[in-house]
Amino acid sequence: MDIEAAVVSTSGGSFEIERLTLESPRDDEVLVRIAGVGICHTDLVCRDQYFPVPLPCVFGHEGSGVVKKVGRAVTRVSPGDPVVLSFGSCQICPNCIAGRPAYCHQLYHHNFLGTRPDGSGALSRDGQVVHGHFFAQSSFATYAVASERNTVKVDPDVPLWLLGPLGCGVQTGAGAVINALRPQAGSSIAIFGVGTVGVSAVMAAALCGCATVIAVDPLANRRELALKLGATHAIDPTTEDPVKAIQTITGSGANCSLECTGLPQVVRQAVESLTLTGTCGVMGVSRLGTKLELDMNSILFGRGVRGIIEGDSVPQEFIPRLIALYRRGRFPFDKLITEFKFGDIQDAVAQSESGKVVKAVLRMPGF
């Protein structure tokens, strides 16, 4: 079928809406009409080749929409079902079997290869290959072919175009707190970088009963949003030392911290802001080969550092939980979202990169 998709043809290039051909879904795949898709930092750093995703490529990995067609082996969803698309995984490696698909041994092949894991692709332009299958979806398009494994059936009563960011950025931040760090009620947490991931973590920390939730960000609009959605304190790192400020607020340092920027110097601050035996979760995406330097004594005295991917989430289980919380007014992730038309993707990207908006979502015609 013919579709419209936003194609990046050169490193750092613009997203150009083009007419492409999309293959029918294979036996284990699902064809989804996209209702909305969030713009994520990972889309932009892959555009810039932090990871060597082949170009030309259709990015987009926070899609939501309606199932139009399913392959013969698909049993989880049916045509007409509303769905959120999340990350791809193999489902057969030890980590997938253990319920940790975010740490799939074949994660790169299912999300960043620019093709299906077997090297084939569903997208073309005048008979020439256009890379896709980004996060097993490539949802910067009017239609996407996804895997049954990364397709999550959701409640039909919630505005469908809003839900795409639950598939990556929102579940990453919320899951980092709820699933990975699991702070005790009454404890303290410091969150460095309060974009989509960070503000989602702020809301999750409030849900978990953290008594002190500290948001660190140089942008005033993001600090203000974090304070509205659960942060108890906000720090501007351009005007004060966040490590000293966090130690002053908490007395001895935060029980846990999250780094959401991908900047090595911020990771160090997030570690040094911890109290003894505290844990820092690292989530920011950096260019391959980026080095991190820590003071050995920061770690020696009981502090821990761990990477967190996709919020340690099992999407089929965690995304419906977040939607249930949203419906009860306890997880208002819609406060992060600014709506754009699909044709205005370049404006949405520019406003995302400038920090003017927290989460840009492209709303497709008809939704």
Which range, of 168-182, 194-208, 292-306, averages the lowest pLDDT? 292-306
Yes or no: say if 53 and 114 are a contact pair by the CB < 8 Å rule: yes
DSSP state of 141: B
| Residue 159 pLDDT level (bands cut at 50, 70, 90) | very high
Q: Which residues pair with 145 in a beta bridge?
A: 31
Phi, psi of 278, rounded to the nearest 5 degrees: -75, 165
> Which of 309, 67, 63, 250 has the alpha carbon at shortest distance from 162?
63
Q: Is the pLDDT of residue 298 over 90?
A: no
Extract the tokens encoding 203.
């809301």
- How far is CA 197 from each of CA 42, 111, 230, rounded to the nearest angstrom? 12, 19, 14
Interior angle at CA 102, CA 31 and CA 275, nearest 5: 145
Q: Which helix (H) or strand (E) holds 348?
A: helix 345-354
Mean pLDDT within 122-128: 95
Sign of CA dihedral 224, 175, 285, 351: negative
Residue matched to tokens 């750092």:
12
Helices (H) and strands (E) in the chain, counts: 11, 18
**Per-position DSSP letters for 290-306, written without gaps between them:** ------HHHHHTT-EEE
Structural domains in the chain plus CATH codes: 2-167+332-363 (3.90.180.10), 173-309 (3.40.50.720)
**Which residues lie across from 234 on neighbouring strands?**
215
pLDDT, position 157: 92
- For residue 115, the model assigns a pLDDT of 97
**Model confidence pLDDT, tens digit, residues 312-352:** 999 999 999 999 999 999 999 999 999 999 999 999 999 99
3-class DSSP state for residue 320?
helix
Total Cβ atoms within 10 A of residue 362: 28
Q: Could you tell me the pTM of the whole model?
A: 0.96
Q: Residue 116 — pLDDT band, cuts 50, 70, 90?
A: very high
